[in-house]
């Protein structure tokens, strides 16, 4: 196999493993094509199986002939391996380095992984655009499913099927696509059943410095307005950034050409700024100093919480325009593949109770992230510990998950899933045995034949034992729109991700178990009481006195 | 009342702090005890009651075309922005409130006029509910090592100490008296907590009057006696909770700290907690941050950092941990002091007790602890909480910091405490409200002189009667977290901002659904189920026995999932409306749906009032019916319209 040449030393004995909150283990370290494995060959200790793709960076240290490798993972965990023998240590380090930075997607683990579980439902077919459209059709006939992008030629980052206004033909779409960044013409993101208002998303209009316009684009988005109604365009960039984009051929919708639309500019940050923010935040969380001032100032300087607040605020604004103002909304930034998706997906969490179920949330991630063309492969190539020069990496999806967690904290009974589902999605977006988050678009995933060659994360999740683990015991369906608070006092640091490896969660886990116990005991009693009641009713009917009329 | 210049102002607006455009119009009344704002919206009767004793400042701002703003800050961190139509009225209300909120004598305090519907016998029993003797005997005292000393029976040795004090068996009266002369305010070393398991004790005192070189044989003997009362230990810690510099500065004034050379077998330690002035300024700064109108995340975090508040909380908790570990893990006794031994010393001793002893993490235990380390040992509540008009430099949120330390611990150990956050907040509120006699005065001697036990009500029995509201559903006496010493993490990221207290009245900021209330409702239901289960079983057994003959008289009571039990958990019906996300550009009001909104449950009237009474000061709703008796005109028929109450208010 082609990995063999990268593995200089496949096996070292007498390696000592240090992990957060777990006892130190001594054992044999093995390197395979996709895993770093440490096993003590004793029954009572837990083995370490670490995907190479989960490794963000490594550091080597030597004291005499004892080498130490610090492995920093994309899930933010830091582990330490003490390896006797300098040569072995160097070999292991360089092998890990090579194996964790493979460039070719087709060498990734999902292509080699064979499921050890029974697939009940193939996740690759669970959330097809045509199925989502059936739901839409049951609510309105104002939209149609267009296959204008069936060969990915109109917009390489869109799926083959997109929902567009019924009266707009494919030619209009093609022309509108030439006027939008990367061909990302306005498409339907969400239909608000309550009042028929819609949310659309797109790339920026290519107005350029001389104010180009495109009648087809105007026609397309105006087709979503009710007679006499105005809509809102939420541009996720500040007016200055949007102005500057004109010089590079981009721009924004002018009042003159889009008189029925009101433009709102928000200041959501771009990818490299967010990556920088993540790095600083994780550094602050790992700081061993016991100074309160230092912690608070580092937390502040990372700006992570600021991003959370800004993204949530913008999503709330979009939801408010739709639900409270009764207006349709178009959301875009520059490409329409990052901050745009944060806003449109969070707005749906707020507005649509269906998105707060486990399955509904999977559907949301499929629709608004995977099929909408968020470039996962690029964005999640590196996490907070990477030393390599950042290219396209950015924790856009992690920020989205953080925002969902914030809403979950404020409405702890309104989500069918628990925090662990969000953590799971974070882990799998960065390193996984499943093919779901590979590639940058539907086109790439089709080219790589992912549905045929890999297993979908949803196939694994949608099995009773997994679902049970991810279910929120407090859940009670809540059909209301949920408006979160975005005050700084209301937004917390997501400890479950950022402090996960820094502080023991034992007491909090125990509290969770206690909570589950209280709820389950209650259910158990309900069942008992019900069965006794039936028994009682039966006894009563058997009573001869009661049988005589 | 002679202090009320203007009993009633009409067309007053009460602004919403988060979105000022959302204001309510109503009538403002000043009564002898409360400021009351009655909203005059047709059909609803929303009232906001603010106790005068909770008012901390009344500020008149520049008048504008829309009226004259009056901002009232309360000690429970409620802030009310009123706009009065005319400056003259605003001025009168301000002067009246300033006078009413700053009583000049104890006799004016609310606790002396607060007359709930309780007869005298019951009232007297309220005060017997909690006794410190019981707590000392729970610790196993007196025993062969510690004895109850009558030396301060008449408050002659230290007038700020309680009458009953435990001292080492070997400490003779001359040693105690000698030692007291060498300590600030005569506050000699005495027992605060004793560990039955290993004989280690926490003792407390004030600073020694050591200056640069003074010694006192009796004081040295006193410490020696404390050490001897812990037979298994050959040394003890002497902990000065102040920063070293402060302690050194005190030497110039003839005070200071113990010289290790003069006392045998002590290990001396500074713990670096700042003084009351630093704490007062710190909280003030933090509250300013809490009050910012739509602050950015940076404004908030920078403000929080520069206030230093969490740093101080961490210092207090760190100090408590030091002492708790010395006692539990090393089995070593500790003498704790600061300057006078009634602020930092109270904080640190009580935090250590909470960490050490599971009893102090129960409902009753926390009350006992406050009674012991704070009330009996002479924390100057009336000075620190500004109960009477007095020196503003004496005011300081020392007890707030203790309650917050407990809250921070609850966040780390969710199953370890029998009580919930609401319990702490209610206690906090009543420390300042002056509604109950418990916290009035500065020491035991003053309280006896004021006859508080004879003339006022006790908070502790009120809390005990209403304990259902204060129980943490996750607490189980047999849970592992409940046992033994708590070992909290004091990494900076473990300290959180206490939104529940400092932004208590900004309802929009809190989680819209409470897990705790949800679980409490489930537990309540579980209890009903258990009863039903038992009764069903009984009936079945009965029926089976009676096989076929006598008629069945009782029909099974159909069980349906009680909607009331669940409603409590679902606060959502308390209109979850969007905040101002827009920065104010949307044409219509962002916060009010223009038409009745199907997504919002329309509030039934009584629910609405509940939510309102939450907004007004805690003491009103918490005291329930009892409290209403002193404002009878309103309480008897709260649905009457505002105008008909006019006479009643002006007569009051």
How close is the nearest chain A Cα to the Cα of B236, in Å? 27
Whole-angstrom distance, CA of residue B594 vs CA of residue B591: 9
Q: 3-state SS of A303-338?
A: CHHHHHHHHHHHHHHHHHHHHCCCCCEEEECCCCCC
Tell me the pLDDT band of A173, cut-offs 50, 70 and 90.
very high
More confident residue, B407 or B565: B407
More confident residue, A509 or B570: A509
Mean pLDDT of chain A: 94
Assess B493–A contact: CB distance below 8 Å, yes or no: yes
CB A293 to CB B311 under 8 A? Answer: yes
Q: What is the ipTM of this complex?
A: 0.95
A contacts of B503 (beta carbons < 8 Å): 487, 489
**In the predicted model, what is the mean pLDDT of residues B539-565?**
56
Question: Within 13 Å of residue A106, how many CA atoms lie on the same side as its CB?
Answer: 8
Q: Which helix (H) or strand (E) holds A265?
A: strand A261-265
Assess A272–B contact: CB distance below 8 Å, yes or no: no
Amino acid B636: pLDDT = 31
Amino acid B444: pLDDT = 97
Find where tokens 């005050």 sit: A487
Q: Is the peptide bond before B142 cis (omega within 30 degrees of 0)?
A: yes
Tell me the pLDDT band of B580, cut-offs 50, 70 and 90.
confident
Number of CB pairs < 8 Å for A and B? 234
B contacts of A474 (beta carbons < 8 Å): 515, 518
Whole-angstrom distance, CA of residue A282 vs CA of residue A277: 9
Radius of gyration of chain B (CA): 27
Angle between helices A506-542 and B515-546 (to 10 degrees): 30
Instruction: Provide φ and ψ at B121, rounded to 5°.
Output: -60, -45
The answer to whether the beta carbons of residues A13 and A28 sit under 8 Å apart is: yes
Tell me the pLDDT band of A545, cut-offs 50, 70 and 90.
low
Q: Map residue B81 onto helix, strand or coil.
A: strand
Q: Nearest residue on chain A to B523, judged by CA atoms?
A: A518
A contacts of B309 (beta carbons < 8 Å): none
CB B493 to CB A295 under 8 A? Answer: yes
Whole-angstrom distance, CA of residue B618 vs CA of residue B15: 20
Closest CA to B387 of B95, B105, B622, B112: B105
Is the confidence at residue B629, as pLDDT, over 80? Answer: no
Give pLDDT tens digits for B15-43. 987 666 778 999 999 999 999 999 987 77
Q: Is B480 labelled a binding residue?
A: no
Whole-angstrom distance, CA of residue B174 vs CA of residue B171: 8
What tokens were used for A2?
């082609």
Instruction: Provide φ and ψ at B95, rounded to 5°.
Output: -60, -45
Amino acid B638: pLDDT = 32
Q: Map residue A187 onto helix, strand or coil.
A: strand
More confident residue, B546 or A142: A142
Angle between helices B344-356 and B398-412 (to 10 degrees): 20
Give pLDDT tens digits for B305-349. 999 999 999 999 999 999 999 999 999 999 999 999 999 999 999
Task: Measure CA B511 to chain center.
Answer: 22
More confident residue, B507 or A97: A97
Assess B603–A contact: CB distance below 8 Å, yes or no: no
Instruction: Provide φ and ψ at A547, rounded to 5°.
Output: -75, -30
Closest CA to B518 of A506, A414, A357: A414
The answer to whether the beta carbons of residues B185 and B340 sit under 8 Å apart is: yes
Q: Is B339 labelled a binding residue?
A: yes
> Residue B165's beta-bridge partner residues?
B149
**What separation, in Å, do the N-terminal and C-terminal C-alpha atoms of chain A show?**
84
Amino acid A47: pLDDT = 87
How close is the nearest chain A Cα to the Cα of B414, in Å? 6
Give pLDDT tens digits for A429-458. 999 999 999 999 999 999 999 999 999 999
Q: Which helix (H) or strand (E) holds B458?
A: none
Q: 3-state SS of A196-247?
A: CEEEEECCCECCCCCCCCCHHHHHHHHCCCCCCCCEEEEECCCHHHHHHHHH
Q: What residues contact residue A348 under an 8 Å CB cut-off, 6+ apart?
A: A189, A190, A199, A355, A364, A368
Is the confidence at residue B597, as pLDDT, over 70? Answer: no
Q: Is B415 labelled a binding residue?
A: no
Among A179-183, A503-507, B334-338, B487-491, which is the least confidently predicted range?
A503-507
Point out the residue among B412, B526, B570 whose CB comes nearest to the CB of A521.
B526
Measured from the Cβ of residue A65, the count of other Cβ atoms closer than 10 Å reads 12
CB A536 to CB B304 under 8 A? Answer: no
Whole-angstrom distance, CA of residue B616 vs CA of residue B432: 15
B contacts of A488 (beta carbons < 8 Å): 295-297, 299-301
Amino acid B518: pLDDT = 94
Tell me the pLDDT band of A44, cut-offs 50, 70 and 90.
confident
Instruction: Provide φ and ψ at B146, rounded to 5°.
Output: -130, 140
Closest CA to B54 of B35, B37, B30, B71: B35
Whole-angstrom distance, CA of residue B392 vs CA of residue A482: 44
Whole-angstrom distance, CA of residue A71 vs CA of residue A77: 8
Closest CA to B92 of B196, B6, B191: B6
The answer to whether the beta carbons of residues B462 and B436 sit under 8 Å apart is: yes
Identified catalytic residue from B338, B353, B385, B630: B338
Tell me the pLDDT band of A100, cut-offs 50, 70 and 90.
very high
Amino acid A434: pLDDT = 98
Q: Is B344 labelled a binding residue?
A: yes
Amino acid B542: pLDDT = 85
Is the confidence at residue B585, as pLDDT, over 70? Answer: no
Q: Is B111 a catalytic residue?
A: no
Closest CA to A443 of A364, A342, A375, A394: A375
- The long-range contacts involving B390-397, CB below 8 angstroms and separated by at least 24 positions, are B393/B277, B394/B276, B395/B280, B396/B276, B396/B277, B396/B279, B396/B280, B396/B343, B397/B279, B397/B280, B397/B283
Number of residues written out for chain A: 549
Task: Measure CA B142 to chain center.
Answer: 30
How close is the nearest chain A Cα to the Cα of B45, in Å? 26
Q: Map residue B167 onto helix, strand or coil.
A: strand
Closest CA to B486 of B415, B393, B399: B415
Give pLDDT tens digits for B2-14. 788 889 999 999 9
Give pLDDT tens digits for B117-169. 999 999 999 999 999 999 999 999 999 999 999 999 999 999 999 999 999 99
Instruction: Provide φ and ψ at B148, rounded to 5°.
Output: -80, 125
How close is the nearest chain A Cα to the Cα of B154, in Å? 45
Amino acid B559: pLDDT = 43
Tell me the pLDDT band of A42, cut-offs 50, 70 and 90.
confident
The answer to whether the beta carbons of residues B596 and B602 sit under 8 Å apart is: yes
- Burial (CB < 10 A; 0-12, 13-18, 19+), residue A19, is middle
Write down the pTM of the prediction.
0.91
The answer to whether the beta carbons of residues B138 and B649 sit under 8 Å apart is: no
Probe site for chain A from B315, B512, B557 (most A CB atoms < 10 A): B512
Point out the residue among B499, B540, B549 whose CB comes nearest to the CB of A532.
B540
Number of residues written out for chain B: 652
Q: Nearest residue on chain B to A517, judged by CA atoms?
A: B474
Tell me the pLDDT band of B545, cut-offs 50, 70 and 90.
confident
Measured from the Cβ of residue B110, the count of other Cβ atoms closer than 10 Å reads 23
A contacts of B311 (beta carbons < 8 Å): 292-293
Mean pLDDT of chain B: 86
Give pLDDT tens digits for A237-286. 999 999 999 999 999 999 999 999 999 999 999 889 999 999 999 999 99
Tell me the pLDDT band of B302, cut-offs 50, 70 and 90.
very high
Closest CA to A147 of A133, A126, A127: A133
Amino acid B59: pLDDT = 96
Q: Map residue A442 onto helix, strand or coil.
A: helix
DSSP assignment of B532-565 equals HHHHHHHHHHHHHHHTTSSPP-PPPPPP---HHH
Amino acid A543: pLDDT = 62
> Residue B47's beta-bridge partner residues?
B38
Angle between helices B309-325 and B276-291 (to 10 degrees): 130
Tell me the pLDDT band of B626, cut-offs 50, 70 and 90.
very low
DSSP assignment of A117-176 equals S--SS-GGGTT-HHHHHHHHHTT-SSEEEE-TTTTS-S-TTS-S-EEEETT--HHHHHHH
Whole-angstrom distance, CA of residue A392 vs CA of residue B211: 66
Q: Is B630 labelled a binding residue?
A: no
Task: Measure CA A526 to chain center.
Answer: 37
What tokens were used for A330?
């178009």
Q: Is B216 labelled a binding residue?
A: no
C-alpha dihedral (B109, B112, B118, B124), degrees to nearest 10: 110
Whole-angstrom distance, CA of residue B433 vs CA of residue B158: 28
């Amino acid at each position: 196999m082609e990995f063999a040449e990268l593995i200089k030393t496949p096996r070292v004995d007498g390696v000592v493993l240090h992990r957060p909150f777990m006892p130190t283990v001594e054992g044999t370290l093995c390197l395979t094509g996709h895993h770093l494995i440490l096993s003590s060959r004793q029954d009572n200790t837990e083995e370490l199986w670490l995907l190479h793709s989960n490794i963000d960076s490594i550091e080597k240290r030597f004291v005499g002939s004892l080498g130490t490798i610090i492995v920093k993972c994309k899930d933010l965990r830091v582990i330490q391996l003490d390896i006797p023998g300098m040569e072995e240590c160097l070999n292991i380090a360089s092998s890990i380095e090579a194996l964790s930075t493979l460039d070719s997607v087709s060498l990734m683990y999902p292509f080699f992984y064979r499921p050890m579980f029974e697939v009940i439902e193939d996740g690759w077919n669970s959330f097809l655009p045509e199925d989502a459209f059936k739901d839409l059709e049951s609510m309105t006939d104002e939209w149609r499913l267009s296959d204008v992008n069936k060969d990915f030629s109109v917009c390489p980052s869109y799926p083959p099927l997109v929902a567009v206004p019924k009266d707009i033909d494919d030619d209009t779409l093609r022309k509108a696509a030439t006027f939008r960044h990367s061909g990302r013409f306005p498409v339907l993101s969400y239909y608000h059943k309550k009042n028929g208002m819609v949310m659309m998303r797109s790339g920026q209009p290519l107005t350029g410095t001389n104010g180009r316009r495109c009648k087809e684009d105007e026609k397309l988005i105006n087709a979503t307005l009710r007679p006499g109604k105005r809509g809102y365009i939420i541009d996720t960039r500040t007016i200055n950034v949007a102005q500057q984009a004109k010089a590079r051929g981009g721009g924004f919708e002018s009042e003159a050409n889009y008189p029925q639309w009101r433009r709102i500019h928000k200041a959501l940050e771009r990818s490299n700024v967010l990556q920088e923010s993540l790095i600083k935040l994780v550094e602050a969380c790992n700081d061993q100093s016991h100074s309160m001032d230092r912690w608070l100032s580092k937390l502040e300087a990372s700006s992570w919480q600021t991003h959370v607040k800004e993204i949530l605020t913008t999503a709330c604004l979009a939801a408010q325009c739709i639900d409270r103002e009764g207006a349709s909304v178009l959301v875009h930034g520059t490409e329409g593949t990052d901050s745009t998706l944060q806003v449109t997906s969070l707005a749906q969490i707020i507005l649509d109770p269906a998105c707060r179920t486990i399955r509904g949330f999977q559907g949301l991630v499929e629709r608004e992230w995977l099929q909408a063309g968020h470039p996962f492969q690029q964005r999640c190539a590196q996490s907070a510990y990477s030393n390599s020069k950042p290219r396209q990496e950015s924790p856009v999806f992690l920020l989205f998950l953080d925002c969902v967690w914030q809403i979950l904290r404020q409405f702890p009974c309104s989500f069918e899933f628990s925090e662990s589902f969000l953590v799971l999605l974070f882990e799998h977006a960065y390193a996984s045995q499943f093919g779901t988050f590979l590639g940058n678009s539907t086109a790439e995933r089709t080219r790589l034949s992912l549905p045929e060659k890999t297993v979908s994360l949803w196939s694994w999740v949608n099995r009773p034992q997994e679902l049970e683990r991810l279910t929120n015991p407090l859940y009670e369906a809540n059909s209301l729109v949920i408006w979160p608070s975005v005050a700084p006092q209301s937004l917390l640091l997501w400890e479950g991700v950022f402090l996960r490896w820094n502080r023991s969660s034992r007491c909090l886990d125990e509290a969770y178990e206690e909570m589950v116990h209280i709820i389950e005991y209650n259910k158990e009693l309900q069942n008992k009481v019900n069965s006794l009641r039936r028994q009682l009713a039966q006894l009563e009917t058997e009573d001869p006195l009661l049988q005589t009329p | 009342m002679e202090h009320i210049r203007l009993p009633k102002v009409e067309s007053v607006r009460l602004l919403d702090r988060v979105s000022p455009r959302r204001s309510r119009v109503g009538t403002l009344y000043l009564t002898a005890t409360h400021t009351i704002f009655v909203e005059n919206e047709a059909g609803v009767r929303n009232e906001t009651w603010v106790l005068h004793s909770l008012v901390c400042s009344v500020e008149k701002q520049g008048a504008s075309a829309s009226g004259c703003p009056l901002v009232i800050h309360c000690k429970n961190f409620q802030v009310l922005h009123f706009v009065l139509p005319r400056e003259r009225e605003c001025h009168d209300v301000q002067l009246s409130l300033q006078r009413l909120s700053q009583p000049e004598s104890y006799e004016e305090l609310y606790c002396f006029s607060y007359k709930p519907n309780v007869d005298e016998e019951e009232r007297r029993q309220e005060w017997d509910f909690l006794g410190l003797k019981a707590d000392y005997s729970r610790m196993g005292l007196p025993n062969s090592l510690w004895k109850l000393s009558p030396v301060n029976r008449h408050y002659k040795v230290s007038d700020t100490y309680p009458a009953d004090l435990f001292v080492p068996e070997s400490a003779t009266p001359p040693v105690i008296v000698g030692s007291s002369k060498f300590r600030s305010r005569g506050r000699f070393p005495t027992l605060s907590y004793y560990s039955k398991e290993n004989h280690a004790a926490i003792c407390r005192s004030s600073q020694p009057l050591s200056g640069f070189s003074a010694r006192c044989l009796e004081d040295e003997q006193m410490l020696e006696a404390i050490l001897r009362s812990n037979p298994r230990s050959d040394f003890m810690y002497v902990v000065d909770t102040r920063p070293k510099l402060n302690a050194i500065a005190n030497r110039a004034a003839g005070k200071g700290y113990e010289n290790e050379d003069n006392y045998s077998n002590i290990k001396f330690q500074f713990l670096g907690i700042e003084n009351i002035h630093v704490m007062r300024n710190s909280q003030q700064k933090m509250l300013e941050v809490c009050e910012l109108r739509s602050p950015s995340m940076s404004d908030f975090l920078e403000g929080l950092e520069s206030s230093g508040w969490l740093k101080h909380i961490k210092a207090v908790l760190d100090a408590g941990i030091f002492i708790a570990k010395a006692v539990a893990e090393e089995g070593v006794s500790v003498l704790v002091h600061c300057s006078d031994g009634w602020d930092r010393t109270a904080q640190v001793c009580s935090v250590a007790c909470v960490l050490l002893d599971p009893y102090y993490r129960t409902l009753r235990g926390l009350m006992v602890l406050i009674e012991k380390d704070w009330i009996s040992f002479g924390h100057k509540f009336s000075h620190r909480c500004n109960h009477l008009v007095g020196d503003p430099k004496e005011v300081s949120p020392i007890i707030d910091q203790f309650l917050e330390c407990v809250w921070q611990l609850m966040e780390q150990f969710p199953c370890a405490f029998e009580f919930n956050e609401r319990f702490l907040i209610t206690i906090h509120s009543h420390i300042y409200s002056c509604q109950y006699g418990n916290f009035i005065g500065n020491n035991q001697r003053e309280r006896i002189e004021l006859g508080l036990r004879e003339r006022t009500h006790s908070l502790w029995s009120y809390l005990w009667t209403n304990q259902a509201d204060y129980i943490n559903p996750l607490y189980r006496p047999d849970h592992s977290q409940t046992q033994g010493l708590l070992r909290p993490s004091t990494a900076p990221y473990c300290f959180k901002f206490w939104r529940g207290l400092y932004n208590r009245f900004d309802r929009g900021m809190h989680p819209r659904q409470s897990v705790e209330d949800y679980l409490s409702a489930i537990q309540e239901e579980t209890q009903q189920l258990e009863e039903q289960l038992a009764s069903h079983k009984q009936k079945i057994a009965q029926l089976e026995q009676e096989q076929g003959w006598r008629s069945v008289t009782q029909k099974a009571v159909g069980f349906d999932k009680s909607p009331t039990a669940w409603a409590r958990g679902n606060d959502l019906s308390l209109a979850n409306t969007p905040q101002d996300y827009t920065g104010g550009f949307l044409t219509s009001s962002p916060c009010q749906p223009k038409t009745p909104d199907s997504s919002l449950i329309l509030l039934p009237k009584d629910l609405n009032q509940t939510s309102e009474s939450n907004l007004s000061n805690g003491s009103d709703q918490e005291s329930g019916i009892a409290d209403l008796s002193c404002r009878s005109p309103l309480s008897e028929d709260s649905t009457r319209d505002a105008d008909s109450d006019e006479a009643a208010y002006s007569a009051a």
